[in-house]
Amino acid sequence: MSTARTQAAIIRITAALARIEKVRPQDGGDEALRREVSATIAELDTLIDGLEMP
Amino acid sequence: MSTVRVTIGPRTYTIGCSPGEEPEVERLAAQFASYYERQNATRAPQETQNFLIAALIMASDLEAAHGRIAKLDADLDAARHQAERGWDEAADTKAALEARLDRARLAQERSRREVERLRAASEQANSEHANTDTALAEQLETLADTAERVASELEGRAQVA
């Protein structure tokens, strides 16, 4: 039961990261938005690192 | 007083006995007569001599019978001793088997307790694992909420830019 919940949450996180990568500006684009996306991805990485694995 | 007439060899004798004893006297006299008859070919002129020979033959048979009885008594004693030894051995075997049975019962009881302990430990471990798995799922769901919210915000900003 919990394993199914875990897998569903991981699928949601993967999809959200794909959406974030999609809007990441290329070089020469909006520098502020690019930094914002990088900061968001770093924040998500930090959150993932903080997960307590069983 | 009763009388019985018995025939031994060529002569018939009248013998006194108690009333009721006639059949026994006749039977014993017939038995003695059979011993008397064994010396048919060598019978002496004097009946006293013939009676003596018949008595000696009878004594010889009696002695052989006593020997057989003594041997049967000895065999009976030996069989009785053997039976007593067998009984003692059976009692020892029974006691040993009862002791082994008691030990087996104790071992079975110990095993049953160990199985109960392991079952309880297994149930506790399963419960702890389920709790941990649930906590992880909740953390991941929170993280997914955050990622989806951030993605929506970034998509909105990208459209504005």
**How far is Cα B10 from Cα B23, in angstroms, rounded to an integer?**
21
Lowest mean pLDDT among A33-37, B116-120, B130-134: A33-37
Residue of A nearest to B131 (CA): A2
The reply to whether the predicted model has a pTM over 0.80 is no
Contact A39, A20 (CB under 8 A): no
- Residue B155, chain A, CB below 8 Å: the answer is yes
Give the pLDDT of residue A27. Answer: 59
> What mean pLDDT comes out for the span A41-46?
77
Q: Which of B139, B145, B149, B153 to mutate to test the interface with A (most CBs of A within 10 A)?
A: B139
**How far is Cα B112 from Cα B101, in angstroms, rounded to an integer?**
16
- CA A54 from centre of chain: 22
Residue of B nearest to A30 (CA): B161
> Pick from A4, A42, A25: which is nearest to B157 by CA?
A25
Q: Strand pairing partners for B3?
A: B16
- Residue B139, chain A, CB below 8 Å: the answer is yes
Strand, coil or helix: what is B57? helix
**How far is Cα A37 from Cα A21, in angstroms, rounded to an integer?**
8
Give the pLDDT of residue B21. Answer: 95
So what's the ipTM on this one?
0.71
Lowest mean pLDDT among B35-49, B94-108, B111-125: B35-49
Give the pLDDT of residue A53. Answer: 54
Whether A2 has a pLDDT exceeding 70, the answer reads no
Q: Which of B131, B138, B150 to mutate to test the interface with A (most CBs of A within 10 A)?
A: B150
> Pick from A50, A53, A46, A51: which is nearest to B133 by CA?
A53
Locate tokens 């769901």: which residue?
A: B141
Would you state the structure tokens that stand for residue A46, as one six-digit string?
A: 């930090």
Strand, coil or helix: what is A16? helix
Lowest mean pLDDT among A1-5, A26-30, B13-17, B48-52: A26-30
Q: Virtual CA dihedral for B52, B57, B58, B60, nearest 10 degrees? A: 120
**How far is Cα B8 from Cα B3, in angstroms, rounded to an integer?**
16
**How far is Cα B147 from Cα B101, in angstroms, rounded to an integer?**
68
Cα angle B68, B74, B76; round to 5 = 100
> What mean pLDDT comes out for the span B133-157?
86
pLDDT tens digits, B38-72: 887 788 888 899 999 999 999 999 999 999 999 99
